[in-house]
Structure 1
Amino acid sequence: MTVVREYDSSRDLAGVEDVERRCEVRPSGKLSLFTDLLGDPISRIRHSPSFLMLVAETGTEEKEIVGMIRGCIKTVTCGKKLDLNHKSQNDTVKPLYTKLAYVLGLRVSPSHRRQGIGFKLVKMMEAWFMQNGAEYSYIATENENQASVNLFTGKCGYSEFRKPSILVNPVYAHKVNVSRRVTVIKLDPVDAESLYRLRFSTTEFFPRDIDSVLNNKLSLGTFVAVPRGSCYGSGSGSWPGSSKFLEYPPESWAVLSVWNCKDSFRLEVRGASLWRRVVAKTTRVVDKTLPFLKLPSIPSVFKPFGLHFMYGIGGEGPRAAKMVKSLCGHAHNLAKRGGCGVLATEVAGEEPLQRGIPHWKVLSCQEDLWCIKRLGDDYIDGALGDWTKSPPGASIFVDPREF
């Protein structure tokens, strides 16, 4: 007999931690990635507007937590339309919004799999989604995780939707040089919100509450890169505000924000051979001893490590990818000061700025899989439509609260 109920922090913490420790997050050959939620199982969802965690419990007298699932709901952009009533001569593009639910952190104890527990957890979470007005539900999994893919696309009625890339770069012992041809400007949260709403509000998955994201204590800042020598890159006091900047932009520019995942959860790679560990440690020792050589080193990922997540990546112009590379260098140095092991981001598979994001292929996932399900008929801003059937765009906005 398995009972699914809401998570109770006063009695479920130890059981949830035990299941989390035994469940790998992303298998990769002979290596496996595990997560540590730092004693707070809802840390990855508590920053969303609405969230819930469920646990699966078995037994009569000796009860045991054998599974759990987390979910959250928010309003995001699912498309765009022309505003024919706009007063200007040119039609203005407006975002279409929908209430979107996200399933994450589905775990079932290895000793209790193939018993329908995962399916029961998903259906109970979807019931909560619909009770709270969610129009779509989506999940992120790996193409290689056939059990997860079969559960969602086979039993639960989800369909494959988007295939973004997760790009991961190690944080070296040395500081990364940022091009002297680029000026990096840090925006205050109000200005950053203005820039994102003016430039990215029609990007798929853009959160309507972007202000909550940018003002969150885990947000480490939004940074804009412009050519040094341009009117915006000539020193302090040269930033005119986002509205004016977008009205008269430089030839090329880029933007990204950084989120501190380190204070929410830690990761750990298990299954590495002694030889791999020795090689990794040797690269760190050499990099730390001779930092001026700028030799790439492998961080200590074989014990719990933290990460910073880059999101809201965008820009324009022929040198936009180079601007993004400079911003990633700046973000790397922030992560180094913060004691992180890796720097990560997730972008659309066809994102043109992807070539400017430094990453190691061995650590990255070039084809993550997002699956989506329509929970009910939706009527969005006067336009009837089905988001699940829409073609992918060049870019997506990945919410750091759900990474």
Structure 2
Amino acid sequence: MGEEYSPTVVVRAYDPNKDRERVEAVERTCEVGPSDKLSLLTDMLGDPICRVRHSPAFLMLVAEIGKEIVGMIRGCIKTVTCGKKLSRNRKQTDTANHVPVYTKVAYILGLRVSPNQRRMGIGLKLVQKMEAWFRENGVEYSYMATENDNLASVKLFTDKCGYSKFRTPSILVNPVFAHRAKVSSNVTIIHLKPSDAKTLYRRRFATTEFFPRDIDSILNNKLSLGTFLAVPRGSYTPDTWPGAERFLSDPPESWAVISVWNSKEVFTLQVRGASRVKKTLAQTTRVVDRALPWLRLPSVPDLFRPFGFHFLYGLGGEGPEAVKMVKALCGFAHNLAMESGCGVVATEVAPCEPLRFGIPHWKMLSCEEDLWCIKRLAEDYSDGAVGDWTKSPPGISIFVDPREI
């Protein structure tokens, strides 16, 4: 008997001029997400690399056998908070007398291998090639996110690539209904300027895990629809807003903040695997709502066709009524998404995030336990105050970068 044939796999950088159509063909053959969950359908900008193009440094690789593209992977690099230490000058910080400790991290996303080319080590080669680029750029840690029940992905990264399970945030998804959500009249919502938003985030949330050091780049990005602050009625109005510095020097007892990212302009989503019964029930709610609009029924939008969404990030707040403020902000965000023609509003929070109780969501569309895995790439740590970040306990909150969604 002859030796078993093993095709040569070439991993190289993605070339948008000649690879785009073939990469999109592979994307369409790969199911993303479990049944009845949100799954990536197509890239609205027509360029598969656009999901990471807004990051400070990014790369997309493809795996090729002959002239056939059989896999791809995306990666981006940034600097984020990995811990905190006591401030030597406590007057210059508002984060509980601590200052952030930053580290250079890389994020892996969009790993795809053609179904008929799996179990050939292609995924491993793509990850290893991407990690080599990370190391060349001085990255200390690499991490990725996947569904907790995606056993093939988890096994690849934990068993073969040396990653360890790190964080389990929750992805909360809420449909955008045909009627405007009610926003409490006891809450005032103020649209912050990017400069005020940057000041607020840096002064109050810079020590939150994964907080990006280039937060100003995110807030000024064309996909950022704005940062919104909720305060008790009578404390401030848009006309009496004094600016972030004065607000932080004497804030109201309770307040909350959230930012909105227009993911609709990057790619669309679609719910796959739903039964005919569920599709019929969803359509019935829309028919009844159109016939009886005064009832304001929560009709289910058509999520079985491609739709866009808004992503909420930078969630934070303080005070005994902070959850109430978050609920008002989510109602405001729902109305903003409705005006933009979105199908859902989504966010991602730490499992112990106390403000998550103010975030409306549907359990059947959400993921209660997303899985983040991490790996240490550098031999030396950037700061001894943190040590090995991969072994650190989770905090109450986490900052999810909208550029990586």
TM-score, shorter chain, exceeding 0.5? yes
- Aligned counterparts of 1:53 and 1:264: Cα–Cα separation in 2: 16
- Aligned counterparts of 2:294 and 2:251: Cα–Cα separation in 1: 36
Question: Where in structure 2 are the equivalents of 1:281-300 lying within 5 Å?
Answer: 281-300=283-302
Residue 295 to residue 202, structure 1, CA distance change in 2 (3 Å): same
Q: Is the partner of 1:333 in helix, strand or coil?
A: helix
Q: How many residues align?
A: 396
Extract unaligned runs of 5+ from structure 2: 1-7
| Mapped contact 1:19–1:66 kept (Cα < 8 A) | yes
Q: Report the Cα offset of residue 384 of structure 1.
A: 6.1
- Aligned counterparts of 1:304 and 1:23: Cα–Cα separation in 2: 16
- CA RMSD for the aligned pairs? 1.7
Residue 129 to residue 324, structure 1, CA distance change in 2 (3 Å): same
Extract unaligned runs of 5+ from structure 1: none
Match of 1:43 in 2: 50
Match of 1:56 in 2: 63
Q: Is the partner of 1:67 in helix, strand or coil?
A: strand
Amino acid at match of 1:64: E
- Aligned counterparts of 2:240 and 2:292: Cα–Cα separation in 1: 37
- Aligned counterparts of 1:127 and 1:143: Cα–Cα separation in 2: 26
| Mapped contact 1:321–1:353 kept (Cα < 8 A) | yes
Match of 2:193 in 1: 188
| Mapped contact 1:34–1:270 kept (Cα < 8 A) | no
Question: Where in structure 2 are the equivalents of 1:252-263 lying within 5 Å?
Answer: 252-263=254-265
Question: Where in structure 2 are the equivalents of 1:157-172 lying within 5 Å?
Answer: 157-172=162-177
Residue 58 to residue 257, structure 1, CA distance change in 2 (3 Å): same
| Mapped contact 1:157–1:373 kept (Cα < 8 A) | yes
Q: Is the partner of 2:208 in helix, strand or coil?
A: coil
- Aligned counterparts of 1:211 and 1:84: Cα–Cα separation in 2: 25
- Aligned counterparts of 1:171 and 1:22: Cα–Cα separation in 2: 28
Question: Where in structure 2 are the equivalents of 1:225-244 lying within 5 Å?
Answer: 225-230=230-235, 232=236, 235-244=237-246
| Mapped contact 2:87–2:93 kept (Cα < 8 A) | no
Answering whether residue 32 of structure 2 is matched by residue 25 of structure 1, we say: yes
Q: Report the Cα offset of residue 33 of structure 1.
A: 2.4
Q: Report the Cα offset of residue 35 of structure 1.
A: 2.2
Amino acid at match of 2:64: E
- Aligned counterparts of 1:311 and 1:70: Cα–Cα separation in 2: 22
* 1:187-224 deviation digits (Å, cap 9, x = unpaired): 01011001000010000000000000000000000000
Match of 1:272 in 2: 274
- Aligned counterparts of 1:58 and 1:88: Cα–Cα separation in 2: 56
- Aligned counterparts of 2:384 and 2:13: Cα–Cα separation in 1: 36
Match of 2:379 in 1: 377
- Aligned counterparts of 1:89 and 1:328: Cα–Cα separation in 2: 29
Q: Report the Cα offset of residue 86 of structure 1.
A: 4.8
Instruction: Give 1:74's match in structure 2, choosing from 75, 78, 88.
Output: 78
| Mapped contact 1:176–1:332 kept (Cα < 8 A) | yes
Q: Is the partner of 1:43 in helix, strand or coil?
A: helix
Question: Where in structure 2 are the equivalents of 1:118-267 lying within 5 Å?
Answer: 118-230=123-235, 232=236, 235-267=237-269
Amino acid at match of 1:395: S
Amino acid at match of 2:266: S
Amino acid at match of 1:69: I
- Aligned counterparts of 2:348 and 2:93: Cα–Cα separation in 1: 37
- Aligned counterparts of 2:261 and 2:238: Cα–Cα separation in 1: 25
* 1:58-106 deviation digits (Å, cap 9, x = unpaired): 12xxx11110000000000000000235568999311000001000000
Instruction: Give 1:115's match in structure 2, choosing from 96, 111, 120.
Output: 120
What is the TM-score with the length of structure 1 in the denominator? 0.95
